[in-house]
């Protein structure tokens, strides 16, 4: 049973560069979610490093879950979940497309298209080194925790939607008291 109309369907957007190993964890997460049947409950998008090209996806959307890598100094493979409202709420560094993602969200806010955002990040080492399409083992091992966090975000949103729908269906009857 689909609880969402297409305009209400959450968007799960994984961003990152697959050619830079761990920096591509957001895209790897989208592939894992596709394999595990999440497409029935949300629109899954491999955003790569697209930046402003993704702005149209925000229009008329109520909820977005972003998955990205971060170089925040936490141990490799640490999964974090925040609900950023401002650029200052973001982790210290969102890897190679840091400015693009923050600018994208700020632009959506300026246009009035900023939905509720859940940001799930995976801590990676520093950028650089050789090009590879392989995730390191700690980052690969973090993918089940990313999936679990996405599931929790979707469940919380479903609960909110169900509560909203049940509130809409309540009709208030005038209270009469017999004396």
Which pLDDT band holds residue 2 (cuts at 50, 70, 90)? very low
Give the 3-state secondary structure of residue 86.
coil
The runs of H, that is alpha helices, within the chain are: 25-35, 98-110, 137-168
Whole-prediction pTM: 0.79
Is the pLDDT at 178 greater than 80? The verdict is: no
Domain limits, the chain? 11-168
What is the mean pLDDT of the segment spanning 129-150?
92
132, pLDDT greater than 50: yes
Q: Is the pLDDT of residue 69 over 60?
A: yes
Residue bearing the bigger pLDDT, 16 or 170: 16
As given in the structure block, the two tokens for residue 137 are 């083992």
Identify which has the larger pLDDT, 157 or 6: 157
Is a pLDDT exceeding 80 seen at residue 97? no
- pLDDT band for position 100 (50/70/90)? low
CATH 3.40.80.10 for the 11-168 domain, yes or no: no
What is the rounded average pLDDT for all residues in the chain? 78
3-state helix vs strand vs coil in the chain, percent to 5: 45, 20, 40
**pLDDT above 60 (res 162):** no
């Amino acid at each position: 049973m689909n609880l969402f109309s297409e305009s209400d369907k959450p968007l799960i957007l994984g961003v990152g560069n697959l050619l830079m190993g761990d920096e591509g964890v957001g895209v790897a997460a989208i592939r894992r979610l596709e394999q595990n049947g999440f497409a029935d409950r949300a629109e899954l998008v491999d955003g790569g490093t697209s930046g402003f090209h993704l702005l149209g996806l925000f229009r008329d959307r109520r909820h977005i879950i972003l998955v990205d890598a971060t170089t925040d100094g936490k141990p490799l493979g640490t999964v974090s979940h925040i609900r950023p409202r401002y650029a200052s709420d973001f982790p210290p560094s969102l890897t190679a497309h840091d400015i693009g993602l923050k600018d994208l969200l700020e632009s959506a806010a300026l246009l009035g298209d900023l939905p509720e955002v859940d940001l799930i990040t995976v801590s990676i080492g520093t950028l650089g080194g050789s090009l590879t399409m392989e995730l390191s083992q700690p980052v690969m091992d973090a993918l089940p925790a990313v999936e679990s966090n996405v599931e929790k975000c979707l469940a919380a949103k479903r609960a909110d939607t169900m509560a909203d729908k049940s509130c809409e269906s309540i009709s208030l009857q005038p209270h009469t008291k017999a004396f």
